[in-house]
Amino acid sequence: MTQIGEKERDELELLMPWYVNGTLDRATAERIDAALESDPALQRSLETLMEDREAAVDLSEAVEVPASMEARFVAQLDAEPAPGAARQRTVQSPGLLSRAGMWIGDLVAAMTPPRLAVAVATACLLLAVQSGIIVSMLGGEAGFETASGPGEEAAGPGMLVQFAPGAEMAAITGFLEGEGARIVDGPLPGGMFRLEFGASDDRDADELSALLRGQPGLFGLVLPAN
Amino acid sequence: MNRTQTSGAVADETLLARIAGGDKEAMHVFYRRHQKAVFRFALRFVRDEGAAEDVANDVFIDVYRQAGSFEGRSKPTTWLLGMARFKALSERRKRRDHTESDDVLEAVEDDADTPEVVAQKRSKAEALRACIDRLSVEHREVIDLVFYHGKAIKEIAEIAGIPENTVKTRAFHARKQLALLLEEEGIDRGWP
């Protein structure tokens, strides 16, 4: 073992974080390997850096991505023209329903079924709302219906909710189906989604609020829609 | 960031080439692979989940629009985090007043207990996480880029737009600041 000088220790000390994350070139890493054998200060530095790394990773991984984020992205992406074609596109072309169908095909290939239901619901609703067209595009295919149109069943009571961070889409859709409810709009400002219960549902807003607030793993903020 | 990419998965560079051709399925794969890392990185700057969500999704829309301009001079994740940093800082500037008032509130809450009481309440690991959370945005950024995103010195220099020597000294000062914060809570790291 050879002792290292102060200047070399200072130089290696500055590189220690990258020794720990494994991105230094081999020669530099080997210099640090050798220095660590004889230098208690660098050894202590390494110990603290290992602790720092664990804490930093724990902190980042504790942050959950909001449940609505992917559905919102899918809707944004669908509204995008193909790269390089931005100036070619008009509002009506190639047609909202046609584009929605192509987009659903992409999603079916890339998404798991539970996520698909909510993502399709959100994106198609945005398309419908933006264009002023309210149609029933998916029906039972994805377990979702768009907002009511002429001839459809009258709307039941409505609620506004935020999904709880980390809530699983499968759990959300399973719960809503069990209660005869569906997502009819969103994301709205504040990350809210509008839920609609069946027309024959005679529970009032207070009862529905209590029902939804009783599922803290699924819903955050709960408000009456009307 | 590569921690979410399994061996045998389609390489990011391949996905970007497909995205440049308008392949939305490739875009979905790329998004799902990196959405957490980009969201978490943006959140450090804007400190608001809604804003971080908007920033992250905007970054991926830009990826879809600009995938054809990716030249492969840096790793895709470095390109991605560079865009995320730029957008997050712009958003943070817009929200500056709100953020500063939040900082004041956080500081008040941090002073609620004496260092001895805090040290008794928390394990060392908990205290360390709390102290990392109290670092300045610049110091926290470099800590995250090194340890969570696994970035090399050169890559961090590119993402943050600073010289490589500044990256090294910034990381060193971040660690020194962390040691000082821990000392305030009654924990002596024995370093530096």
The per-residue pLDDT for range A37-92, each reduced to its tens digit, is 999 999 999 999 999 999 999 999 999 999 889 999 998 898 888 776 543 433 33
The values of phi and psi at residue A100, to 5°, are -60, -40
CB contacts under 8 A, B 35-94 vs A, are: 35-36, 39-40, 43, 49-50, 53, 56-57, 60-61, 64-68
pLDDT digits (tens, 9 = 90+) for B146-169: 999 999 999 999 999 999 999 999
Highest mean pLDDT among A1-10, B111-120, B123-132, B164-173: B164-173
CB contacts under 8 A, B 132-161 vs A, are: 132-133, 143-144, 146-148, 150-153, 155
Pick the residue with more confidence: A159 or B63?
B63
Distance CA B188, CA B191 (A): 8
pLDDT, residue A91, reads 34
pLDDT, residue A216, reads 85
Q: Does the pLDDT value for residue B112 go beyond 70?
A: no
Per the prediction, chain B carries an average pLDDT of: 86
pLDDT, residue B108, reads 42
pLDDT, residue A79, reads 86
Question: Residue B138 contacts by C-beta under 8 Å, 6 or more apart in sequence?
Answer: B170, B174
Cα–Cα distances in angstroms (integers) from residue A82 to residues A78, B18, B19, B27, in the given order: 10, 12, 9, 12
Chains A–B, number of C-beta pairs less than 8 Å apart: 141
Q: What percent of chain B has pLDDT over 70?
A: 82
CB contact under 8 A, A191 and B146: no
In this structure, of A30-34, A136-140, B19-23, B62-66, the range with the lowest mean pLDDT score is A136-140
Q: Give the nearest partner residue to A80 out of B31, B61, B124, using CB atoms.
A: B61
Cα–Cα distances in angstroms (integers) from residue B188 to residues B80, B126, B154, B179, in the given order: 37, 15, 32, 7
Average pLDDT over residues B176-182: 95
- What residues in A contact B124, CB-CB < 8 Å? 51
Q: How confident is the model at residue B119 (pLDDT cuts 50, 70, 90)?
A: low
Q: Give the nearest partner residue to B152 out of A23, A44, A48, using CB atoms.
A: A23
CB contacts under 8 A, A 177-216 vs B, are: 190-191
Closest by alpha carbon to B134, among B152, B117, B151, B118? B118
Average pLDDT over residues A25-37: 95
CB contact under 8 A, B53 and A58: no
CB contact under 8 A, B53 and A86: no
pLDDT digits (tens, 9 = 90+) for A123-155: 433 443 343 333 333 333 333 333 333 334 457
Q: Give the nearest partner residue to A83 out of B43, B65, B169, using CB atoms.
A: B65
pLDDT, residue A47, reads 94
pLDDT digits (tens, 9 = 90+) for A171-201: 887 888 888 888 877 767 667 778 888 888 8
A23 inside 8 A of chain B by CB: yes
CB contact under 8 A, A15 and B40: no
Per the prediction, chain A carries an average pLDDT of: 72
Question: Quick check: helix, strand or coil at residue A86?
Answer: coil
ipTM tops 0.90: no
How open is the CA angle A72-B49-A64, to the nearest 5 degrees? 85
Q: Give the closest-approach CA distance of A203 to chain B in angstroms.
A: 32
